[in-house]
Structure 1
């Protein structure tokens, strides 16, 4: 079983169809079918059960498929590392980030580019602990900024700063006149919150529970920008990280602190321990840690 056959076999299983797999591999369907049949003849047992409607792995095929997927992953990672070893001061830096980090990230990149002007920057939103872990271990990103501590033997999780979660309300909301606002005060307000699966949502609901208050959830959104727009139209109130709103320009929105020790979080810098990281990645991590140490 050679490397080419392995890729062909995995593509057929992933697509569950010879025609689609052949198109993806830029092969003719007969050529791909013959390659898989030749592979089965070489190893001495069938890998696929074929019928007119679908393909299904045999028990032996299941084992070969899992091993092939892992081998191809390791090979692709090795290819990336070999390319990056040759890149001194050049290459591409892939950064995953939570939405609230987008306002300070350009300042860090500006400092970084003074030392590495030729490095390309790729930015993407990476949300949720599982997505962060997958992104790092599959070599999709070099580093990820996240508000979730990643517990994995191959991931470094470094706290870089703490921030409060603050109340946002429309400038005409009478609640803004109160000197001290509690979670109980929010029970009668239309509440806007992140959708299920977001750590910020869990933090906020945990704060309500600790204060024995019940939120009146009327709107849910994946993005802070949408949440803020709803508040600016006077449709409700919300709680979001202070670093997001600190650099935003919503003229009709006011921020207030809430009397709750639960409304704070830690933001982390994460990267893979087992992956080779070019010098410019380590320099970028140093820039991030320095930015929050001095600012």
Structure 2
């Protein structure tokens, strides 16, 4: 979702300022983002990672619901409702533990005293998608 929204912002910005150049840096770690901001290497950041830092101001742009990424023929595809207990027997694919989304998902499992079977910890969404397509697991996403 962020990629789509950000590309729309860039399109509008380019219409208003056609001679300005934009450099996009793709990073996934809060510490890298923090260093880039404080070192004045970037002017602003759009991230799905909540950064709490006394030297950085952040604003929530939007909320996204959590979804489950599954292969089309997975048994979950036939269910009308999926609960956390349903995930116990599944191979779960999550983002890296330092990602806020992964931490939030794991916290919910912990609060419900459910131990998910985490098979893969992946850095990039593209790899998660490939693993799900190959039937190697399922994934919670925002």
Provide TM-score, normalisation by structure 2: 0.91
1:200 aligns with 2:101: yes
How far residue 204 of structure 1 moved from its aligned partner, in angstroms, is: 1.2
CA separation in 1, counterparts of 2:63 and 2:81?
22
Alpha-carbon shift at residue 147 of structure 1 (Å)? 2.5
The structure, 1 or 2, with the larger RCO (C-alpha pairs under 8 Å, 6+ apart) is 2
Secondary structure at the aligned position of 1:180 is classed as coil
Instruction: Give deviations 1:194-237, integer Å, cap 9, x for gaps.
Output: 12322121111112112221111111210011101111111110
Task: Give yes or no for the alignment of 1:183 onto 2:89.
Answer: no
Q: Name 2:13's counterpart in structure 1.
A: 112
Q: Would the alpha carbon gap of residues 220 and 153 (structure 1) be closer, same or farther in structure 2, given more than 3 Å must change?
A: closer
User: What is the alpha-carbon distance in structure 2 between the residues aligned to residue 212 and residue 121 of structure 1?
Assistant: 46
Which of 141, 152, 159 is the equivalent residue of 2:60? Answer: 159
Aligned residues: 142
- Is the aligned partner of 1:127 residue 2:28? yes
Aligned to 2:120, the other structure's residue is in SS state strand
What residue in structure 2 maps to residue 226 of structure 1? Answer: 127
After TM superposition, give the deviation of residue 185 of structure 1 in Å: 0.3
1:150 correspondence with 2:51: yes
| Separation of aligned partners in 1, 2:52 and 2:121 | 28
Question: CA offsets per residue over residues 231-265 of structure 1, 9 Å max, x none?
Answer: 11111100112xxxxxxxxxxxxxxxxxxxxxxxx
Q: Would you say the 8 A contact 1:126–1:144 is kept in 2?
A: no
Over 3 Å counting, the alpha-carbon distance change for 1:139 and 1:161 in structure 2 is: same
* Larger helix percent: 1
**How far has the Cα of 1:171 moved from its partner?**
0.7
RMSD: 1.5
Higher strand proportion, which one? 1
Match of 1:290 in 2: none
Larger Rg: 1
Return 5+ residue gaps in structure 1 as ranges.
Answer: 1-99, 242-295
CA shift for structure 1 position 120: 0.7
Retained in 2: the 8 A contact 1:135–1:141? yes
TM-score (norm 1): 0.46
Q: Matches of residues 35-54 of structure 1 in structure 2 within 5 Å?
A: none
Q: Partner of 1:216 in structure 2?
A: 117
